[in-house]
Amino acid sequence: MTQLTGVEVAKHNTADNCWVIVHGRAYDKYLPKDKHKGPVDMSTVVVEKQEVLPEEQERMKRIEEMPLLEQCYNLLDFEGVAKRVMKKTAWGYYSSAADDEITLRENQNAFQRIWFRPKVLVNVEKVDFSTTMLGTKVDIPFYVTATALGKLGHVEGEVVLTRASAKHNVIQMIPTLASCSFDEIMDAADTDQVQWLQLYVNKDRAITKKIVEHAEKRGCKGLFITVDAPQLGRREKDMRLKFTDEGSNVQRGSGEKTDNSQGAARAISSFIDPALSWEDIPWFKSITSMPIVLKGVQRVEDVLRAVEVGCAGVVLSNHGGRQLDFARSGIEVLAETMPVLKKMGLEKKIEVFVDGGVRRATDIIKALCLGAKGVGIGRPFLYAMSAYGQEGVERAMQLLKEEMEMNMRLIGARGVEELNEGMVDVRGLFNHGVGPVNYLAERVYDPLVNPAQREGVAKAKL
């Protein structure tokens, strides 16, 4: 396939015939989405001179005045800063989630329903929170999970995360929908740095096979097959921010077109195979010797089945709340899963990971107490990267390490093997009586009021 130039692409710039460049490839915005036009020679793309809009000027001012990196004391701080300094559309893409974003927030809420039962008078002079994941020794039990479109947040994209992961000796999971190419990300790694591959399975299995074999050859140490996204979710916050009314016409019937503002991510995800099923797992085992992990498992029955078909692991995850709203949090599914595995003597047969909502070392410790091998962290590192670049990501990781050391001491555990279910109180965890506010519903509700004063009555009498 010959490379397109920016000029060629730019010619297709009308409402009816519009190409867009995504991930170094050009797509036709309105034609069948699974056919892209071809790779683009990005050096040939002319960047339009644009006047700086007042909104953008405001943002530039906020960037100048942004807090120093040292002023960020925890992972949520990076999110607070990123919200102010990122482009609105980039912020929208990263922060948005499915429907009413109930699950997005539940992911953090669920951790708030787990409390500690710390041990005291344990000699915790030395604490060691390193562990292994799929055989790899890591400094701390988290990995950088796969998230799409890293260049929305930072001009260099996912390689920033690669370099920070190397510094802190943690594993990076490489996303299928990265802004950087797979090889760019591999190339950015240190010798011996371990990376995993996250995989959206293509309808065309030949392509999938090529990707998997290439990844194994390049040294990937784990294959994480995403199983919670047969179709990519609608994220309304993102859609709302992207909406522009150029070309819209209130007159025309539009009842049937709802996706004109759903943007790039949707376009590039159309290759994902909704027919992927349990029957495909043996085939994956036949094409790779990487350990296979199912990412996005959400019920204990499916964990058992994963053991049965010989998976090395599962990630209990709801895709950061971006797919099915009202999916339960990974941590809750973990608390449902591990007692069953233990009862059946299967807890050593499979490594169980959790992602979603992890913001504090206490969250990591909770997951480990409940039997997780490790946790994935995604958005927080994107926010740290978007606001402060590689230094930001490194500081975020460093903060987690400091919290981890402190909190291992405070819970009375010298190593991760000493963390157990007796150290947490999960009695409130399953109580779904309390959930996140539905802001949309709250905002449209018009609360009752008492009778108002009859203003003007007094004046009228004068």
The catalytic residue positions are: 200, 228, 319
Give ∠ CA 88-178-265 in degrees, rounded to 5: 55
- Asked if 297 interacts with its own copies (CB under 8 A), we say yes
Site for its own copies in 105-134 (CB under 8 A): 105, 108, 112-125
Pick 176 or 318: Cβ nearer its own copies: 318
- If residue 236 lies in a helix (H) or strand (E), which one and from where to where? helix 236-242
Out of 47, 52, 206, 449, the only residue in the binding site for its own copies (CB under 8 A) is 449
Query: 13 to 72, contacts with its own copies by CB under 8 A?
Result: 61-62, 64-72
Query: Which 207-236 positions form the footprint of its own copies (CB under 8 A)?
Result: 227-228, 230-231, 233-234, 236
Q: Where are the alpha helices (DSSP H) in 102-235?
A: 102-112, 159-168, 182-187, 205-218
- Shortest Å distance, C-beta 147 to its own copies: 17
Q: Does 409 bind its own copies (CB under 8 A)?
A: yes
Among 19, 36, 101, 157, binds its own copies (CB under 8 A): 101
With H, G, I as helix, E, B as strand and everything else as coil, classify residue 298. Answer: coil
Asked whether position 193 contacts its own copies by CB under 8 A, the answer is no
Q: How far is the C-alpha of 28 from the C-alpha of 18, rounded, in Å?
A: 6
Separation of alpha carbons 385 and 348, rounded Å: 36
Residue number with CB closer to its own copies (51 or 65): 65
Q: 175 by DSSP, 3-state: which?
A: coil
Q: Which stretch, 44-52, 176-184, 186-194, 421-429, contacts its own copies (CB under 8 A)?
A: 421-429
Dist CA 67 CA 70 (whole Å): 8
Pick the binder of its own copies from 10, 18, 324, 340 (CB under 8 A): 324
Residue 443 sits in the site that holds its own copies (CB under 8 A): yes
- Beta bridge partners, 41, equal 5
Q: Which stretch binds its own copies (CB under 8 A): 41-49, 210-218, 369-377, 396-404?
A: 396-404
Q: Looking at beta carbons only, is 158 or 325 nearer to its own copies?
A: 325
**Secondary structure of residue 343 in the 3-state scheme:** helix
Q: Which of 89, 132, 398, 420 binds its own copies (CB under 8 A)?
A: 398
How far apart are alpha carbons 171 and 4 in whole angstroms?
35
Number of residues that bind its own copies (CB under 8 A): 137
List 51, 191, 256, 286, residue binding its own copies (CB under 8 A): 256
Q: Are 417 and 127 in contact (CB under 8 A)?
A: no
Our finding on whether 277 is near its own copies (CB under 8 A) is yes
Tell me the window of 136-144, 177-185, 346-354, 445-453 that interacts with its own copies (CB under 8 A): 445-453
Q: How far is the CB of 178 from its own copies (least distance, A)?
A: 23
Say whether residue 340 binds its own copies (CB under 8 A).
no
Other C-beta atoms lying within 10 Å of the C-beta of residue 234: 17
DSSP 71-121: G--SHHHHHHHHHHHS-HHHHHHHH--STT-HHHHHHHHHHHT-EE----S
Q: Which position among 261, 271, 285, 346 is part of the footprint of its own copies (CB under 8 A)? A: 261
Of 8-16, 17-25, 35-43, 96-104, which segment contacts its own copies by CB under 8 A? 96-104
Structure tokens given for 454: 């009859």
Using an 8 Å Cβ cutoff, are 308 and 282 in contact? Answer: no
Q: How far is CA 224 from CA 36, 212, 377, 381, in A?
A: 25, 10, 15, 19
Contact between 286 and its own copies per CB under 8 A: no
386 is a contact residue toward its own copies (CB under 8 A):
no
